[in-house]
Amino acid sequence: MSGPDTGTVTVTTEGAIAVIRFANPPEGYMDEGTEAGLTAAFDQVEADETVRAVILTGAQEGVFIRHYDVRVLEARSRKLAARGMVFTPDRPVPEPALHRNMRRIETSAKPYIAAINGTAMGGGYELALACDIRLAQAGDYPIGLPEVNLGILPGAGGTQRLSLLVGQARALEYCLTGRTFTPHEAAAAGLVNACVAGPVLDHAMGMAGRMAVHPPLALAHIKRLIRGAAPDPDRMALERTLFCDLMVQEEAITLMARMNNTDGDIRNP
């Protein structure tokens, strides 16, 4: 059964498994349309009691979600800077829709699997980090959090969730250097559960199917117990506040503009 096409996000169901697919040609960036589409997609799968497991994947070949559109970030930064906006920890930035959706994944009774079929950096990988399981398709593409190369930081939970996943020391190394990983490297480093040969969606469907045959309440209780170590809300608020603080700095605006003007790469703007 197919759900409605919502912007760049579509939902289909196969038995008890829902698949949320992202597409934003040609680059596959996350933007306002993807954010709105995510909300609608989660509304749909969470309201459907027949859905027992959810898979997130990319609809474009070689792209999960590349990262958040830096053109959008630059425009937001210039607007905030022009208004003289100042961001300090004593005035936390409210939680935006994208962040609420990621927290929704964590707190859902249903297991979520990120089937990473291609490039997943920045906000794209942060979305995968919010999921319960991450599978990556073997190939030559980057996975990671290279935001420091733009003079900013992973602002959608990346610093917090990566620390929980790989430990503080590794998270510091990866975020401070802006290092990205091939799928095999990501599996070895613990950024994904496994690097799989062949279409990753097939592997994700198999895993979701093994989960979906179990009683929903058992899945919910197991997830609740294991995910009790979710990111601290105060630390998450601090992360997004300091992200905004960096967004209005001239150095970050210059780096984002340089990348956008030269059609560069977030790993080397």
| 74 is annotated as an active-site residue | no
Whether 95 sits among the annotated catalytic residues: the reply is: no
- The Cα 259–Cα 269 span in angstroms is 5
When pLDDT is cut at 50, 70 and 90, the band that residue 262 belongs to is: confident
Instruction: Tell me whether residue 268 is in a domain.
Output: no
Indicate the pLDDT class of residue 5, thresholds 50, 70 and 90.
very low
pLDDT in tens, 195-223: 999 999 999 999 999 999 999 999 999 99
Residue-level pLDDT at 34: 87
Is residue 269 a part of any domain in this protein? no
**Lookup: tokens for 169:** 């020391």
Identified catalytic residue from 74, 126, 173, 250? 126
**What CATH code is carried by the domain that includes residue 57?**
3.90.226.10
Tell me whether residue 267 is in a domain. Answer: no
What is the C-alpha to C-alpha distance for residues 203 and 232, in angstroms, rounded to an integer? 32
Total domains, the chain: 1
Residue 223 lies in a domain: yes
Output the DSSP codes for 72-87.
HHHHHHHHHHHTT---
Catalytic residue among 147, 185, 250, 251: 147
Structural domain contains residue 2: no
How large is the average pLDDT for residues 37-50?
95
Q: Residue 59 above 70 pLDDT? A: yes
Exposure string over 155-169, b if 16+ CB within 10 A, otherwise e: bbbbbbbbbbebeee
Average pLDDT over residues 150-156: 96
> Among 87-96, 232-241, 247-256, 259-268, whose mean pLDDT is lowest?
259-268
CA pair distance 180, 84, nearest whole angstrom: 33
CB atoms near residue 50 (< 10 Å): 11
Residue 1 domain flag: no
The pTM of the full predicted model, rounded to 2 decimals, is 0.94
Q: What is the mean pLDDT of the chain?
A: 94
* Residue 3 located in a structural domain: no
pLDDT at 134: 98
Within a domain: 16: yes
pLDDT in tens, 44-56: 999 999 999 999 9
How would residue 4 be classed by pLDDT, with cut points 50, 70 and 90?
very low
**In the predicted model, is pLDDT for residue 264 greater than 90?**
no
Residue 179 scores a pLDDT above 60:
yes
Give percent of the chain above pLDDT 90: 90
Residue 132 has pLDDT above 90, yes or no: yes
Report the pLDDT averaged over residues 1-12. 67
Domain enclosing residue 204, as ranges: 9-262
The Cα 219–Cα 263 span in angstroms is 44
